[in-house]
């Protein structure tokens, strides 16, 4: 059995290394995301019912329903959300990912990415910016107005820009940013800069007013995390082909919905293994403490699942100014992740690790054997809807997710007569 697992994990790891995530355009959730309709709201993390959702996720859903015109205010939105008329589902079940609450509704514009190695697609909404935003559960008029501007100006300008620019190779771009001080999850300054550099020559050639072009450039420039909504679907489309490799113990999904943390394992198909999401430990903005924090939320942990984010923390030492600790701690975190992964990235080489590839391919057996849980670098949302980000820090998945997955893996192997 051990030999079968090793071969299956090598297959899973190799598929991930072959991935070629590429931006192929801008679409809308309704037109492009499989299984989407006007009464469906997608969210981050494993599936969850309305009654169990946390503050930020509920707030984001309220905002999404108002944006879609399905409710005129908070009270109507709450009633509709609880009525059973709205279908809630994981972004992950629809080839999509979303940061923080990850709420994706019918009219929202989305990045369209294709993994050119296997042809599979991935989608993600465009990043709204910092402060009071939908993904942190805010739903004020300002939030809705910004979403409408993104739909009516930002997305059409970027769509026309991409039509002129052609497909953009994100694997090469991410390989560059991890050598420029980014790690692709909680630090995306370099990625946002490279993206603007790539798009600008074509953006200025589009048939929009100078004001619109200027506003789009300023919008991207003002948000250091604009690139996060590209690293996420890049990792998603790279990992999705790993679903269902028989006998593989490699993790191909990690995600949180603000209540539960969930993982999916290659050899166990699309089954989720969930446990209560933990509270993040880190640095809080003035006036906020750990008491204000919501449990871990968002699909952005797909970056760690792919070997970047917290796994590449050594390459982004400046991040410790936001999450706490020292550059030596960042180095130590990356070093420890080599203990629980199957291999080292062939694309993402980390200069502080002497250009070793980032530790990639979480193996549930190694996590349990070493008791080292994956390290995640993330933002912290206020537990109440509408407040926004209150800090940034480090968190790990609950060990129970890996234990339950290991037990299921053994039961599955026994049922197939392999042990």
Partner 1 sequence: MKPLNGLFGKQLKVVNLGLEAFYEDLKSQSVEVVQVDWRPPAGGNEKMLSLLGKLKGKK
Q: Between residues 73 and 369, which has the closer beta carbon with respect to partner 1?
A: 369
163 part of the interface to partner 1, by CB under 8 A: no
Q: Between residues 152 and 271, which has the closer beta carbon with respect to partner 1?
A: 271
Smallest separation, CB 251 to partner 1 (Å): 16
Question: What angle (nearest 5°) sits at the alpha carbon of residue 97, between those of residues 162 and 235?
Answer: 75
Q: Please state, as a whole number, how many other Cβ atoms lie within 10 Å of the Cβ of residue 163.
A: 12
Closest CA to 57 of 66, 47, 46, 44: 44
Residue from the set 38, 201, 369, 400 that interacts with partner 1 by CB under 8 A: 369
Residue from the set 38, 166, 407, 416 that interacts with partner 1 by CB under 8 A: 407
368 part of the interface to partner 1, by CB under 8 A: yes
User: What is the bridge-based pairing of β-strands 87-90 and 40-43?
Assistant: parallel
Q: Which stretch binds partner 1 (CB under 8 A): 29-37, 227-235, 293-301, 368-376?
A: 368-376
1 part of the interface to partner 1, by CB under 8 A: yes
User: What is the bridge-based pairing of β-strands 356-362 and 341-350?
Assistant: antiparallel
Residue from the set 34, 148, 370, 416 that interacts with partner 1 by CB under 8 A: 370
Q: Which stretch binds partner 1 (CB under 8 A): 141-149, 270-278, 316-324, 399-407?
A: 399-407
365 part of the interface to partner 1, by CB under 8 A: yes
Report the largest interatomic distance among the alpha carbons of the chain, rounded to a whole angstrom.
67
The three-state DSSP-derived secondary structure of 381-401 is EECCCCCCEEEEEEECCCHHH
Handedness of CA 52, 53, 59, 63 (dihedral sign): negative
Burial track 192-206 (b if 16+ CB lie within 10 A, e otherwise): bbbbbebbbebbeeb
312 part of the interface to partner 1, by CB under 8 A: no
274 in Cβ contact with 401 (< 8 Å):
yes
Q: What DSSP string runs through 174-223?
A: HHHHTTTT--SSS--HHHHHHHHHHHHHHHTTSSS-HHHHHHHHHHHHT-
Task: Find the binding residues for partner 1 in span 98-157 (CB under 8 A).
Answer: none
Binding mask 3-42 for partner 1 (x = CB under 8 A): --x-------------------------------------
Residue from the set 34, 326, 371, 400 that interacts with partner 1 by CB under 8 A: 371
Q: Which stretch binds partner 1 (CB under 8 A): 133-141, 148-156, 323-331, 367-375?
A: 367-375
74 part of the interface to partner 1, by CB under 8 A: no
Q: Between residues 108 and 394, which has the closer beta carbon with respect to partner 1?
A: 394
205 part of the interface to partner 1, by CB under 8 A: no
Rg over CA atoms, the chain: 20
Smallest separation, CB 12 to partner 1 (Å): 16
Smallest separation, CB 330 to partner 1 (Å): 17
User: Could you say which DSSP state residue 33 is in?
Assistant: S
Smallest separation, CB 410 to partner 1 (Å): 5
Q: Between residues 2 and 291, which has the closer beta carbon with respect to partner 1?
A: 2
413 part of the interface to partner 1, by CB under 8 A: yes
Q: Between residues 270 and 370, which has the closer beta carbon with respect to partner 1?
A: 370
SS3 state of residue 350: strand
406 part of the interface to partner 1, by CB under 8 A: yes
The site for partner 1 (CB under 8 A) is made up of: 1-2, 5, 365, 368-371, 403, 406-407, 409-410, 413-414, 419
């Amino acid at each position: 059995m051990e030999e079968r697992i090793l071969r299956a994990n090598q297959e899973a790891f190799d598929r991930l290394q072959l991935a070629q995530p590429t931006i192929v355009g801008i679409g809308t959730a309704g037109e492009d995301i499989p299984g989407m309709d006007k009464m469906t709201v997608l969210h981050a993390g494993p599936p969850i019912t309305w009654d169990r959702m946390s503050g930020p996720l509920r707030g984001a859903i309220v905002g999404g329903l108002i944006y879609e015109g399905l409710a005129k205010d908070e009270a109507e939105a709450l009633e509709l959300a609880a009525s059973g008329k709205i279908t809630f589902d994981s972004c992950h079940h629809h080839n999509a990912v979303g940061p923080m609450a990850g709420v994706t509704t019918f009219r929202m514009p989305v990045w369209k990415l294709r993994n050119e190695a296997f042809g599979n697609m991935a989608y993600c909404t465009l990043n709204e910016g910092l402060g009071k935003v939908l993904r942190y559960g805010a739903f004020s008029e300002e939030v809705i107005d910004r979403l409408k501007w993104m739909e009516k100006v930002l997305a059409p300008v970027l769509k026309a820009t991409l039509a002129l620019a052609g497909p953009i190779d994100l694997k090469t771009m991410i390989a560059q940013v991890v050598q420029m001080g980014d790690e692709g999850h909680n630090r995306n300054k370099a990625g946002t800069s490279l993206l603007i550099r790539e798009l600008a020559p074509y953006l200025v050639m589009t048939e929009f007013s100078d004001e619109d072009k200027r506003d789009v450039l300023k919008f991207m420039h003002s948000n250091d995390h604009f690139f996060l909504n590209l690293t996420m679907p890049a990792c998603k489309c790279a990992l999705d082909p790993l679903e269902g490799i028989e006998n593989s113990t490699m993790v191909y999904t990690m995600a949180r919905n603000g209540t539960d943390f969930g993982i999916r394992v290659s050899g166990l198909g699309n089954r989720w293994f969930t446990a209560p999401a933990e509270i993040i430990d880190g640095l809080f903005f003035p006036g906020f403490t750990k008491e204000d924090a919501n449990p871990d939320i968002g699909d952005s942990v797909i970056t760690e699942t792919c070997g970047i984010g917290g796994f590449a923390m050594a390459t982004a030492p400046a991040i410790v100014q936001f999450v706490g600790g020292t550059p030596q701690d960042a180095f130590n975190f990356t070093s420890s992740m080599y203990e629980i992964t199957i291999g080292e990235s062939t694309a993402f080489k980390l200069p502080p690790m002497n250009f070793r590839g980032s530790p990639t391919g979480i193996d549930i057996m190694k996590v349990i054997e070493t008791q080292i849980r994956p390290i995640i670098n993330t933002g912290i949302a206020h537990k109440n809807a509408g407040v926004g980000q209150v800090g940034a820090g480090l968190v790990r998945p609950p060990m129970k997710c890996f234990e339950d997955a290991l037990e299921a893996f053994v039961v599955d192997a026994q049922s197939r007569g392999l042990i």
